[in-house]
Every structure is written in structure tokens, then in C-alpha cells.
Chains A and B, each alone.
Chain A
């Protein structure tokens, strides 16, 4: 970990939470999209986060027993996956160009309430990371005061 490790870790959290916000916004924007990029109704996307594995050097020294701790560092995005488990909503609308023979239209499986909750959760987590970053900044500048 470099000199400003604390800042880098918080920055990785900011990046991850921002992506969660972006994906939630995309889901909300496409809540009524019956034609996605593959021609099928839009399916909601979800961000999968994972812990950033430690660096090679840290893992090596841990394996050699020099350092018994676990060297973690921040968070990273494992991927953005489509939610295929939640079924698409079926809405009766025979006039819709994408309606099937029975007059039903398959609408995206986006639940506005879920997305709003995800959005708030991402926003709060973002703020928590900003707070951690400010604390780190304060600590660094205080330490520099030792030189004065």
C-alpha cells in the first residue's frame, strides 16, 4: 500500500458506488423499454461488487509468514449482470406494437421502488466513503505539521 493508501481505498469505494448509481439510473430510465439492444424487453441490471484482492507482494509476505494479517484494499466491480430471475411484467395492452397474440405486452422487470432504495443506499455509501476520505486527508495534513 502506498503512502496514500487510505485515499485510494476510499476512491475505489466512490467508483463502485457511482457505478451502482449509474446502473440504477439506467434501470429507471428503461423501466418502460420494450425493445432492448437485443430486441427483447429490457431486463434490469445489477452491479456485483467484490473485495479487491491484496497485491502480489502482500500475498507473498503473508504466505511466508512475515505478515499474518490479510492485506485487503478497497472494492472492485466484479461485473454488471442482468437480472433474469425476476420475471418480466405482463401488461394487457392490445394496441401496443409489441403486444403478443393475446394482447399482452412484456414489460421490463424493473421495480421502481427497488431501484429508488438501491439509489439511496448507493448515495449513502458514497457519502460514507467521502467522509472516510476527508478524515484521511485531515490525518495526512496533521502528520505533515510535524515538520513545521
Chain B
């Protein structure tokens, strides 16, 4: 097999970060919507669980789906019942973007190694 579990996990992490970005962007877009409850994508724990499956990790990783869920634990930060804290959302957004870029960087480096092994250069 050309691509191993780690490469697959990296790809799924990039996808999960993309979905999480959509959720966080939706929270920021709804910063002034009364009664809005923030959404989030917990792709970390889904990935961790899939990678921990050992031999079945590849199948588990392929079956992963990242759906946004309502964050019911978040308390209202505003008088209108909205649970969006713009500062916290911005911080999460920036951290998520960095995480995605880190995953891309590693995936890129791994592809470079494969290319070098194939003798096509980087």
C-alpha cells in the first residue's frame, strides 16, 4: 500500500479542521443572532478513537464523518441568550487554522519523502 494509516489520518485531520472552521465561522456569523447556540466539530476525539483501533484503523478512518454538533454545555454569554463569545471563537478559529496548516505541512513532507523514494525528486 502506497499510503499508510498516518497519511490517511493526516488527510482526515485536514478535512476535520475544514469542517471545524465552517462551524466556527458560522458561530461568528451568528454573533448577533438572539438565542443562537454555538456549534462545534470535535474531530480530535473522533480521530483519536479511529487511530486507536489498531489493525482496523484504516477502515475506521475512512468511515469517519465530521458533523457539527450543538454545544449545549456553553452557557449564555449575552443577555439575548446567545452562547457565542466572539473572543473565544476567534481564538479557536486561529488555533484551528494553525492546526490545519501543521497537518498540511506534515502531509506535504511525507509526500515529498515518497517522491524522493520514487526517484522523481521533490
Contacts and interface: CB of A to CB of B under 8 A. Distances in A.
Interface residues on B, range: 35 or more
Q: Is chain B's interface secondary structure helix, strand, loop, or mixed overall? A: helix
Q: Is chain A's interface secondary structure helix, strand, loop, or mixed overall? A: helix
Nearest to A48: B34
Contact of B28 (A71, A72, A132, A142): A132
A135 interface: yes
Contacts of B94: 135
Contacts, number: 119
Nearest to B11: A146
B104 A75 contact: no
B31 A138 contact: no
Contacts of A94: none
B86 A135 contact: no
Contact of A125 (B17, B21, B86, B93): B86
Interface in A97-136: 121-122, 124-125, 128-129, 131-133, 135-136
A30 interface: no
